[in-house]
């Protein structure tokens, strides 16, 4: 007879990865305790995708994830695919749609995904302990002991699924890193990712564009994204900028192509077709008016001829202007930090974990899954897919 406080596995964190892991292990007949300090499970799921949860991406592939070990995510992603999660969603009759770029969203509400995972946990007899912080964790005699509200629970396996510190006001913490370090695992420096970039005084001109968006191609460190960019009162946001922020390093520049859809000699062709028009007016056919104005004003500060009619601007100047507009560099002075970051890059080092099971290679029974691990996906459902896949891998292995 087991002591009432003894389980087969304790999962810390009832978010996306933790619920998937607990339900998977419970369905295999394991007695699982799922603990979260928040009063309800899956808070980040609830606010995700603008309340509709972009729950996976059909184009999931390991090269859409950042990690010190580019191969680490392969095994888990291969064994639990977007179609596996979609089959679960359909089994629960949750209506969904593909928005763009393989991104799948609920037609209704993210609440349906949380309800589905909660029901999976209930069906698998998972015990949930919500609303109280963990006060102590230790390991002795092959058992992990977790103390909550003065009561200690034990199990031979413990899963860290407490995510990363992005959006602390939702209860996000760096708890997983502290516990990982307690057990001798390394942590790759965590940093905000999928986060708006901020601009300094030299780009103050762009503040007047707050609210303006445009389709751009943005590049940094040999990685490019072609999506919408949004100017904010603090700098740059929108999908293109959130994506590139994960690759950006402090004091480096990003290059923005404001004319990703025009031909190579577009401005020269405009000069031939409409010699009486100005650069500013020509640009308004390809860009929002306010953006065209600010870009032209900035370029005319350096080359005054660009304020003239195109017929009076030399071909050389127009070629230079187009080169400038297709590789406009910004050097952000920072990001909006963990308070606004959709995810945390870095985390528990993959070199200390098995890519098959997510178990720490030198600490039997300790598993790390989800965002807590140094695996960070692109924007667009990739991070949830990693949470499901890594949670499933650990849930099968426990
Ligand atoms: P997650 O953060 O989901 O769960 C961790 C759990 O641990 C939480 O329930 C937390 O309360 C708990 N916890 C933390 N510290 C604890 C402690 N000390 N003790 C006990 N419990 C603790 N991704 C995507 O693919 N599609 C999308 O649409 C979005 N949208 C989105 C919007 C916004 C605003 C944000 C902030 C993030 C997204 N994401 C996303 C990212 C996605 O939410 C994220 O990658 C996953 O939730 C990570 O899942 P985890 O289970 O690893 O952590």
User: Tokens 């999660």 — which residue?
Assistant: 85
Distance from Cα 15 to the centre of ligand 1, integer Å? 6
Shortest-distance atom of ligand 1 to CA 133: 19
Asked if residue 171 has its Cβ within 6 Å of ligand 1, the reply is yes
| The Cα angle at residue 234 between residues 232 and 238, in degrees rounded to 5 | 40
Nearest CA owner, ligand 1 atom 48: 371
Structure tokens at 395: 């849930």
Residue 80 φ/ψ, nearest 5 degrees: -130, 105
pLDDT at residue 1 in the model: 41
Asked if residue 17 has its Cβ within 6 Å of ligand 1, the reply is yes
Distance from Cα 101 to the centre of ligand 1, integer Å? 22
Enumerate residues 6+ apart whose C-beta is below 8 A from 75: 355, 356, 393
24, 40, 163: residue to mutate for ligand 1 pocket, most atoms within 8 A of CB: 163
Asked if residue 334 has its Cβ within 6 Å of ligand 1, the reply is no
Structure tokens at 134: 């963990």
Give the other-Cβ count within 10 Å of 324's Cβ.
17
Distance from Cα 155 to the centre of ligand 1, integer Å? 24
pLDDT at residue 204 in the model: 82
Strand partners of residue 257 = 217
Asked if residue 373 has its Cβ within 6 Å of ligand 1, the reply is no
Enumerate residues 6+ apart whose C-beta is below 8 A from 245: 192, 193, 194, 195, 196, 197, 335
Nearest CA owner, ligand 1 atom 53: 163
Give buried/exposed letters for 245-284 (b at 16+ CB in 10 A, else e).
bbbbeeeeebbbbbbeebeeebbbebbeeeeebbbbbbbb
Give the other-Cβ count within 10 Å of 59's Cβ.
14
Residue 247 φ/ψ, nearest 5 degrees: -100, -10
Asked if residue 166 has its Cβ within 6 Å of ligand 1, the reply is yes
Nearest CA owner, ligand 1 atom 45: 383
DSSP result, 255-276: EEES-TTS-TTHHHHHHHH-TT
Distance from Cα 41 to the centre of ligand 1, integer Å? 10
Q: How far apart are CA 220 and CA 226, in angstroms?
A: 12
| Residue 300: alpha-carbon gap to chain centroid | 38
Enumerate residues 6+ apart whose C-beta is below 8 A from 93: none
Of 271, 371, 396, nearest to 65 by C-alpha is 371
Asked if residue 161 has its Cβ within 6 Å of ligand 1, the reply is yes
Q: How far apart are CA 324 and CA 294, in angstroms?
A: 13
Average pLDDT for runs of 10 along the chain of length 398: 77 98 98 97 97 98 97 98 98 97 97 98 98 95 96 97 95 95 98 97 89 97 96 97 97 96 95 96 96 93 87 95 96 97 98 98 98 98 98 98
Structure tokens at 177: 């890193």
Q: How far apart are CA 266 and CA 362, in angstroms?
A: 59
Q: How far apart are CA 172 and CA 163, in angstroms?
A: 7
Nearest CA owner, ligand 1 atom 18: 175
DSSP conformation class of 261: T
Q: Give the neighbor-by-neighbor strand order of the sheet with 328-330.
A: 328-330, 254-257, 213-220, 223-231, 235-237, 197-198, 334-335
15, 103, 193, 368: residue to mutate for ligand 1 pocket, most atoms within 8 A of CB: 15
Distance from Cα 360 to the centre of ligand 1, integer Å? 21
Asked if residue 102 has its Cβ within 6 Å of ligand 1, the reply is no
């Amino acid at each position: 007879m087991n002591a009432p406080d003894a389980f087969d596995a304790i999962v810390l964190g009832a978010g996306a990865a933790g619920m998937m892991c607990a339900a998977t292990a419970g369905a295999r007949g394991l007695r699982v305790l799922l603990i979260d300090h928040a009063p309800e499970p899956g808070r980040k799921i609830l606010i995700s995708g603008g309340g509709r949860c972009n729950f996976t991406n059909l184009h999931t592939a390991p090269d859409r994830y950042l990690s010190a070990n580019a191969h680490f995510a392969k095994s888990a992603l291969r064994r639990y695919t977007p179609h596996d999660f979609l089959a679960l969603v359909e089994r629960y009759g949750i209506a969904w749609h593909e928005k763009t770029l393989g991104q799948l969203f609920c037609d209704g509400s993210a609440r349906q995904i949380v309800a589905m995972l909660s029901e999976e946990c209930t069906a698998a007899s998972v015990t949930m302990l919500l609303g109280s912080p963990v006060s102590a964790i230790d390991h002795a005699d092959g058992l992990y002991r977790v103390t909550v509200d003065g009561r200690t629970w034990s199990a031979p396996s413990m899963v860290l699924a407490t995510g990363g510190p992005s959006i602390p006001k939702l209860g996000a913490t760096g708890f997983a890193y502290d516990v990982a370090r307690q057990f001798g695992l390394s942590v790759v420096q965590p940093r905000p990712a999928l986060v708006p970039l901020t601009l300094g005084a030299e780009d103050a001109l762009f503040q007047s564009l707050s609210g303006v968006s445009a389709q751009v191609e943005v590049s940094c460190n040999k990685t490019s994204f072609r999506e919408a960019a949004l100017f904010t009162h603090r700098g740059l946001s929108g999908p293109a900028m959130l994506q590139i922020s994960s690759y950006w390093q402090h004091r480096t520049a990003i290059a923005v192509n404001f004319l990703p859809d025009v031909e190579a000699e577009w401005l020269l062709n405009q000069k031939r077709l409409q010699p009486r028009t100005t650069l500013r007016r020509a640009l308004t056919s390809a860009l929002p008016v306010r953006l065209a104005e600010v870009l032209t004003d900035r370029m005319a500060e350096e080359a005054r001829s660009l304020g003239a009619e195109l017929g009076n601007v030399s071909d050389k100047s127009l070629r230079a202007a187009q080169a400038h507009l297709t590789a406009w560099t910004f050097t952000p002075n920072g990001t909006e930090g963990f308070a606004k970051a959709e995810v945390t890059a870095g985390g528990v080092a993959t070199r200390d974990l098995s890519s098959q099971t997510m178990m720490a290679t030198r600490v039997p029974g300790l598993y790390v899954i989800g965002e807590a691990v140094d695996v960070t996906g692109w924007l667009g459902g990739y991070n949830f897919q990693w949470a499901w896949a890594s949670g499933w891998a650990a849930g099968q292995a426990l």
